[in-house]
Amino acid sequence: MNLYEIKSEMKALVDEETGEVLDLEQFLEYRKAYELYLTHSEELEWLIKLYKNEKAIETAISNEINVLNERREKCRNRAERYLGHMAYLTQGQRFECAIGTIRHTTRPHVVVDDGFTDWAVKSGFDYMLRHKPPEVDKTAVKAALKAGMDIPAHFEDTTSTTVWTANSKNASDNDEL
């Protein structure tokens, strides 16, 4: 029963001419339901405010993370440029000073040529290849289920809750659970 229906039922229990309550017990029950509804509405309004606040904080944190990631990337790039400049200035020679030491090490780095995969399979060296487990294409499974195929899969209903805030301009401003 919604708020409008509760109010209508309460009005129906009051004599319009005299203002007398015709069924006091029933009227008090509706009055209690009315108060509970208002309490429930106020709680929901408060939850919407809390939700909007948490989403705003989430957005602010996300924006700050993006700013910090950009800043980190700039610092990493600058450090790489400084490292390259030090390598150029030392020409592969070791350099020591009170602040630090610059030294150059050479390590082997594997470069795989084109056609390596085919060669490894044909030559019996497939242990050099990583094999990924197969992944399920859920779009194809959904199409097969809709077509009525008997496969070991099924549809499962999920319920989502959407919060539309009063100042939302478009659907992307709202969230689903």
pLDDT for the residue 168: 62
Residue 57 lies in a domain: yes
Would you give the DSSP letter of residue 113?
Answer: P
Using pLDDT thresholds of 50, 70 and 90, give the confidence band for residue 26. Answer: confident
pLDDT for the residue 43: 73
d(CA 60, CA 63): 5
Residue 130 lies in a domain: no
Q: Which range among 30-44, 54-68, 70-84, 126-140 shows the weakest confidence by mean pLDDT?
A: 30-44
- Tell me how many domains the chain contains: 1
| Chain center to CA of 125 | 42
Domain that holds residue 101: 3-106
Using pLDDT thresholds of 50, 70 and 90, give the confidence band for residue 36. Answer: confident
Residue 13 lies in a domain: yes
Q: What are phi and psi for residue 175, nearest 5 degrees?
A: -125, 155
Residue 14 lies in a domain: yes
Residue 19 lies in a domain: yes
Taking 60 as the threshold, does the pLDDT of residue 2 lie above it? Answer: yes
Residue 42 lies in a domain: yes
Residue 163 lies in a domain: no
Would you give the DSSP letter of residue 102?
Answer: E
Average pLDDT over residues 60-85: 96
Considering the entire predicted model, what is its pTM?
Answer: 0.52
Residue 85 lies in a domain: yes
d(CA 72, CA 94): 29
Would you give the DSSP letter of residue 148?
Answer: T
